[in-house]
Structure 1
Amino acid sequence: MKRIVWGITGSGDLIKETYDVMVDISKRSDVEITVFLSKEGETVLKWYHMWGDLQKDFPDFKKEGGPNSPFIVGPLQVGHYDALVIAPATANTVAKIVYGIADTLLTNAVAQTAKGETPIYIMAVDQKRGSVQTISPQGKTINLKMREIDVSNTEKLAGMENITVIQKPSDLYDIIGVSRPDRT
């Protein structure tokens, strides 16, 4: 059985799509997914009306108490888990990781996990220059312009040791090793 740590940051962009993929993986496989929420991850799930869904679908989730609380880095470093997934990752989380700042639960988990052999997969939301469309909590399509600094940091993140930047939520099927759902 595979064990995955899924870290949720405060990004609303792609949160619903990512959540749907992780629920599907959980339901269609024997992959054990342990969810860790940043403080802002909790805020965003509530804003997007997904808090009740999380409690139902992943009832053993853990909320950030500090950079090392709850304690996850040890089990990640020694291989208790098969992967660390941060998806979606805010520009703030990406910037902290790129510049070695490990002052939150998830940035510390990445910093310490990178010292071991457990692979890290991060889906940064600011990947391409230009504008992207996303969905607001009310279901309205909105356009967001990517800042150069954020895209540049994502490019730097992709060059870091033991970190793979993934492009979209459906990439999670491949990295976790679960077949994609049939498209009929």
Structure 2
Amino acid sequence: MVKKNRIAWGITGSGDLIKETYNTMVDIKSKSDIETMVFLSKEGETVMKWYQMWDSIQKDFPNYKTENGPNSPFIVGPLQVGHYDALVIAPATSNTVAKIVYGIADTLVTNTVAQTAKGQTPIYMLPVDQKRGSLKSYAPGGRELELKMREIDVSNTEKLAQMENIHILKSSEELYDILGVQK
């Protein structure tokens, strides 16, 4: 695996896997010199606030960016020309996955993926709906929830895995290997 020096990390509006992903990314930051540019969809910002992680992201990733429109802030250009070694979208909601699968690029995250896929920068995504059946998740206060995956959402994740230049992560733990960082 080639060592990554600079990545762009997009956060969507998923509460599921957000704490695990966030903790992984903070740990990676503490163990490496990888420059991480964080950008959040409008709903990503909402979820970070809902899960009481908004202050943490401002402290841990002070140069974060929030969505003003599908191409604002302008992230696509630097991704297409190789300024970043990888694009990470984690976690990715079923809505984000469906839009990408069907070519809809009307948000900062979906547009960034659509345009980055046209270049050479690899895209790593962690969809929350990967397996048929139920899974455990947690509400903002820590209460355990059981969520049943919808067939259409799992099917869209399978279609996403077939798309050019998109690599599906099974868990946030895979980011250590992808980014060349020891756990």
What TM-score do the two structures reach when normalised by structure 1?
Answer: 0.97
Structure-2 residue corresponding to 1:119: 122
Structure-2 residue corresponding to 1:8: 11
Structure-1 residue corresponding to 2:90: 87
Aligned length: 180
- Per the TM alignment, residue 176 of structure 1 is displaced from its structure 2 partner at its CA by 1.1
Matched, 1:25 2:55: no
Q: Which has the higher contact order (CA 8 A, sep 6+)?
A: 2
- Per the TM alignment, residue 174 of structure 1 is displaced from its structure 2 partner at its CA by 1.1
The separation in 2 between residues aligned to 1:58 and 1:45, in whole angstroms, is 13
Structure-1 residue corresponding to 2:147: 144
Q: Which amino acid aligns with 1:10?
A: G
- The root-mean-square deviation of aligned C-alpha atoms, in Å, is 0.6
The separation in 2 between residues aligned to 1:110 and 1:136, in whole angstroms, is 28
| CA displacement 1:34-63 (0-9 Å, x = unmatched) | 000000000000000000000100010000
Kindly report structure 1 stretches of 4+ aligned residues shifted beyond 2 Å: none
Structure-2 residue corresponding to 1:77: 80
- Per the TM alignment, residue 179 of structure 1 is displaced from its structure 2 partner at its CA by 1.0
Q: How is 1:41-56 mapped onto 2 (pairs within 5 angstroms)?
A: 41-56=44-59
Structure-2 residue corresponding to 1:99: 102
The separation in 2 between residues aligned to 1:47 and 1:152, in whole angstroms, is 28
- Unaligned runs of at least 5 residues, structure 1: none
What TM-score do the two structures reach when normalised by structure 2?
Answer: 0.97
The separation in 1 between residues aligned to 2:179 and 2:89, in whole angstroms, is 13
Q: Which amino acid aligns with 2:57?
A: L
The separation in 1 between residues aligned to 2:92 and 2:178, in whole angstroms, is 17
